Amino acid sequence: MLGLQYLHQELGIIHRDLKPDNIMINERPLMAKIIDFGTCKDLTTDTAPHTSYVSTRWYRSPECILRSHHYNTSADIFAAGCIMGELYLQNPVFPGTSELDQLEKIFKLLGTPRRDQWKDGYRLAEQREIKLQDYPKK
């Protein structure tokens, strides 16, 4: 999390492909390092809309699953949460088999956001003719 904070706040970079394979662990001294910056985006110089297809599906935030061009560092934070959950459970938290299955797995566990909480997400879903199922939080 400190590495992400540094990337986001100090460097102004979104990693966009955070997953367990892109975190290296050194045992002596105990240290975690974020690697593979091939898909990162520098927010300090590039203000153009972002690429809509990023990151490995199981760690992708809902707005990225819906192919938003306007996401931010919260996409990396979502991926970090997925990684932490996977470390705890010893299995991926949201192992979707497709983008639609991925959204369903996320919302079944976390609950579907209300339209007034996530207007952009509902707009993106409607553009792709996706009906978001209403699941309660668990």
CATH 1.10.10.10 correct for 2-127: no
What is the tens place of the pLDDT at every residue in 74-103? 999 999 999 999 999 999 999 999 999 999
CB atoms near residue 82 (< 10 Å): 22
Task: Determine the pLDDT at residue 88.
Answer: 97
Task: Determine the pLDDT at residue 56.
Answer: 86
Residues annotated as part of the active site: 17
**Whether pTM exceeds 0.75:** yes
Task: Determine the pLDDT at residue 89.
Answer: 97
pLDDT lower than 70: segments of the chain: 46-55
Q: Where are the domains of the chain?
A: 2-127
> Can you spell out the DSSP letters for 6-66?
IIIIII-EE-S---GGGEEEETTTTEEEE---TT-EETTT--SPPPSS-S-GGG--HHHHT
Task: Determine the pLDDT at residue 54.
Answer: 66
